[in-house]
A and B are shown apart, each in its own frame.
Chain A
Amino acid sequence: MTALAWLIPAALFLGLLGLAAFLWALKNGQYDDLEGAGWRALDDDPPGPQTKPKPTAK
């Protein structure tokens, strides 16, 4: 049972890590164009300066 003392915090920490990653991705516009992102992955050229994702000013 003492294992729970660190297993639960560890589980929660990992969960929070996932939540933080989701919120970060949301804020950076990763979900703005889901259809387009699928196609961009097939693009062989290295992303140039013109295709750099920019957080839009809100």
Chain B
Amino acid sequence: MEGAVRAQTADPGSPESNAAPAPARETHVFTAPEIMCGGCLKTIETALADTPGVDSARANLSARRVTVTFDPAVTSPELVVVAIKRAGFSAAPLIDGGDEIHAARVGELMPRVGVAGFAAANIMLLSVSVWSGHASDMDDSMKSLFHWISALIALPAIAYAAQPFFKSAYAALSARRLNMDVPISLGITLATAMSFVQTMRGTDHVYFDAAAMLVFFLLIGRLLDEQMRARTRSAAENLMSLKALTATVLDPDGAVRQIPSRNLIPGMTMIVAAGERIAADGVVQDGVSEIDESLISGETLPKPVSRGDRVHAGTLNTAAPLRVTTTATEDNTLLAELSRLMLAGEQTRGRYVRLADRAARLYAPAVHLLGLSTLIGWLVTGHGWEIALTNAIAVLIITCPCALALAVPAVQVAAISRLFGQGVLVKAADGLERLSEVDTIVFDKTGTLSMGEPTLALDQPIDADVLARAAGLAIVSRHPYAQALVRAARARGIPFESQLGVREFPGSGLAFDTPDGEERLGSALFTGAAVTDPRHLASLWYARPGRAPVGFRFEDRLRSDAPETIAALQAAGYRIEILSGDRADAVSDAAHALGVTAYQGGVRPEEKLNRLTALKSQGRTTLMVGDGLNDAPALAAGHASMSPSAAADISQNAADAVFQGEKLGAVLEALKVARRAHRMALENFGIAMLYNIAFVPMAVMGYVTPLLAAIAMSTSSILVTGNALRLRTMKLSLDRVTASRSKQS
């Protein structure tokens, strides 16, 4: 769909390239996740139409993207983003992550579905006439004519529409494997070929209708599966594009320009203003500031840096501008990250065998054996090759795995769109299946169970006047504590005035001259406070001339629904653990508040990874929920993983699903839907099994007519799809999970 991310298109007015130098046009795709309504489309398109240099803009509500064609001589992708932002939407140029492969597959399948549907419907019309003709006055020549017309439609339609199955079966066979497409291809080919022979001989066993319908239903299943992959992939791309950072680069000649962080090369000098995220790893060249590394280490306390210190991509510069020389960027440019993690994802998929494929491994050989033994059985009992082959093909058609190929994708598409509506983006195609097998959940604390930003603790008496004066100083600073103080004053409705002439001392605090002397807001050392309570080390002090300094203590508040969510998960039998890189006392406070007994603080990334490996060796399947860079290895190692949408981009890349908003309940919801989807897939297998048990003996005995085959196949397909679609609206509850659940694969 949005395949052409960076296609150069000629001016539509002059198709010939050798004509007069036509102004070049570029078409770029932008992601704008806040397109939620019909009005937004118009707002964005009108705003872009009024932007100089933009030729055309088309917003897409389903994909939450905008396609813009513009004159690169007049405007640039950055200016287009600014124009979209001015219209009130956040936007970013789309980073291409291989979406066009999936889009192309969907685009290739759609016309095949159309052709197969046309063929199936028309052949069915002719077949119904023939079947009813058996009971009335249709003579043999008319029947033969109808069969010939069916052949005329079926042969080209099947040759075209069934190609995806033939290709996949051929690939599997040349790798000496069996997959689901082998019996499908065999069934389709044999049924078509035999029907053609029977048509020439003028007999009754003509299966064109069944073959065409089989192709139609199976293609729909394939299309749903590809659409789900394309959709998960496109959700991942939108997220990553928005997370992409831009860097302000200082050229050697003194010019300053903005470039995307993926275009940074080592040795460039970046200017990082206070409040900006650092776009790439580097060494501080100039400036003194404090860096908020909570996304990397889970530590909420900012770290002071000065000339010569290393800083990491994605961390937040809180206090003062820095000049940073970039070092190795190739490892943390987004594209490199993307391809590396995609690769890791593919490897994980190689390790995890999806439910449908697991079933296919058992099913495909069984189908082949059944067909073969039917053929041999009829030959041995002295019937002609024709009857034997007819019955063998009837067996292949009846057993064709519509439930596997259609029902499981339908369940997954229904589950993913349900979760999408609740703000959970499932990024991995097999993520839902893995989520359904989880029995242990490991949470990170900072940013996952908690909000990830300091909040003024409520257990301390604070004078409103002191808070107002302190907030008046704090408002000039971007330090997380200062901002928390301002938020607290606003939340309590305390009016305060911003003071002019506040000086900021990075790593220490703020100072302001009053007629009485200097007011200070900052660390204990800076304000001269005597610290007795060790917890007060991590806090802010406010000192006025002639009075004792007043301390403000901060805490990282838990998400509002964290206690209920954890309680519900524990009640459902999940084992909960907390692993955090934060200080041990902060972690134990949070664990006690949530009623979690297994917790550990001060954990390094590799220790998290080790813990997950240990859990795995105890036979547990673990869901890792985390947001920081320090969680990324654990997220990749967990059987399944989830991240909040405020997480570091590497963590979001590693996670199977990303949840938006403040509520932790999204984790609960995702587990409910995943478990239910798993059960529905099994139900569908059950339906398919019942139907096979009923019809296969008849097929083996030779009682299945083309009419029966057609009816049986379409009813089972419609039944399993209908069952899958119930998931969209069903009310769900979380069933108890038992630790002794059997592990497949």
Binding site for B on A (CB under 8 A): 1, 4, 8, 11-12, 15-16, 18-19, 22-23, 26, 29, 31-36, 38-40, 42-43, 45, 48-54, 56-58
Contacts and interface: CB of A to CB of B under 8 A. Distances in A.
Given A23-B111, A57-B27, A58-B4, A18 B118 contact: yes
A43 B38 contact: yes
B62 A35 contact: yes
A23 B114 contact: yes
B586 interface: no
Contacts of B46: 50
Given A23-B111, A54-B56, A48 B49 contact: yes
A40 B38 contact: yes
B741 to A, nearest CB: 38
Instruction: Classify the secondary structure of A's interface with B.
Output: helix
Interface in B13-58: 27, 37-39, 41-42, 45-46, 48-49, 54, 56-58
Given A11-B122, A11-B125, A22-B114, A36 B60 contact: yes
A9 to B, nearest CB: 9
B38 A56 contact: no
B3 interface: yes
Contact of A39 (B3, B48, B57, B61): B61
A36 B3 CA distance: 19
B142 interface: yes
B110 A58 contact: no
B56 A39 contact: no
Interface size class of B (residues with CB under 8 A): 35 or more
B7 A26 contact: no
B3 A58 contact: yes
Contacts of A11: 122, 125
B499 interface: no
Interface-central residue, B7, B61, B67, by most chain A CB under 10 Å: B61
Given A1-B142, A35-B61, A57-B4, 9 more contacts: A15-B122, A18-B118, A26-B111, A33-B61, A36-B41, A40-B38, A48-B49, A49-B56, A58-B104
A32 B60 contact: yes
A6 to B, nearest CB: 13
Contacts of A50: 45-46, 48-49, 54, 56-57
B115 interface: yes
Contacts of B555: none
Nearest to B65: A33
Contact of A56 (B3, B45, B54, B122): B3
Contact of A38 (B1, B9, B38): B38
B69 to A, nearest CB: 8
B142 A51 contact: no
A40 B48 contact: no
B230 interface: no
A5 to B, nearest CB: 10
B115 A19 contact: yes
Contacts of B42: 43, 45
Given A34-B62, A57-B27, A39 B41 contact: yes
A33 B38 contact: no
Contacts of A54: 56, 58, 69
B2 interface: yes
Nearest to B68: A50
Contacts of A45: 42
Contacts of B590: none
A40 B37 CA distance: 10
A7 to B, nearest CB: 11
Given A32-B1, A35-B61, A39-B41, A56 B67 contact: yes
A20 B114 CA distance: 9
B693 interface: no
B59 interface: yes
Contact of A33 (B37, B60, B111): B60
A12 B123 CA distance: 10
Contact of B114 (A19, A33, A42): A19
A22 B42 CA distance: 27
B63 interface: yes
B62 A56 contact: no
A39 B69 CA distance: 23
Nearest to A38: B38
